Amino acid sequence: MSAFDDNCIFCKIIKGDIPSTKVYEDDLCYAFRDINPQAPTHILVVPKTHISSCNDVNESNEAVVGHIYSAIARIAEQEGISKTGYRIITNCGKDAGQTVFHLHFHILAGKPMGEGMLP
Ligand code: 5GP
Ligand code: ZN
């Protein structure tokens, strides 16, 4: 059984079927620049296996979430934003504004983002 979903745009990006600007990659996750950046630095980090949203994180796949957070720390170092700071956002479902149903973590940085919930 494939870990990919044939209809998922981020699965296609991971496979290289849709081009993306790679920022970081390892066995479990892939990071690339958002096509419509909301901050000077806007990176998406995705697990290499298809997980639709936070609702589908469970005991069988939870390790990848911790792994992604350690990858994010490495990416922040690489991007030179670890000291200035960054915001990590994951939208889950319709009311949060999730538009791509493959779990992803937005890394936003490069400008002050205030104290609100959104960039
Ligand atoms: P969501 O709204 O689901 O939290 O975030 C989806 C993000 O994926 C959006 O910020 C959107 O700009 C980005 N996105 C959608 N399609 C593509 C694509 O084909 N390539 C890249 N690099 N980003 C995409
Ligand atoms: Zn997918």
Q: pLDDT tens digits for 83-102?
A: 999 999 999 999 999 999 99
pTM, to two decimals: 0.96
CA distance 90 to 76: 17
For the CA of 17, the nearest ligand: 1
Query: How many folded domains does the chain comprise?
Result: 1
Most ligand 1 atoms within 8 A of CB, residue of 30, 34, 45, 105 to mutate: 34
Ligand 1 atom, smallest distance to 32 CA: 22
Which CATH number covers residue 45?
3.30.428.10
- Within a domain: 25: yes
Residues whose CB falls within 8 Å of the CB of residue 23, separated by 6 or more in sequence, listed in order: 31, 32, 33, 43, 75, 78, 79
- Within a domain: 4: no
- Within a domain: 93: yes
Query: What's the confidence (pLDDT) of residue 115?
Result: 78
- Within a domain: 71: yes
What is the domain range of residue 14?
9-109
Please compute Rg for the chain using Cα positions. 14
Q: How many CB atoms lie within 10 A of CB 43?
A: 27
- Within a domain: 96: yes
| pLDDT, one tens digit for every residue, the chain (119 residues) | 569 999 999 999 999 999 999 999 999 999 999 999 999 999 999 999 999 999 999 999 999 999 999 999 999 999 999 999 999 999 999 999 999 999 999 999 999 988 776 65
Neighbour-count burial for 9-37, b at 16+ CB within 10 Å, e otherwise: ebbbbbeeeeebeebbeeeebbbbebeee
Q: How far is the CA of 6 from the centre of ligand 1 (A)?
A: 17
- Within a domain: 2: no
Residues whose CB falls within 8 Å of the CB of residue 89, separated by 6 or more in sequence, listed in order: 105, 106, 108, 119
Is 104 among the catalytic positions?
A: yes
Q: How far is the CA of 1 from the centre of ligand 1 (A)?
A: 26
- Within a domain: 115: no
- Within a domain: 46: yes
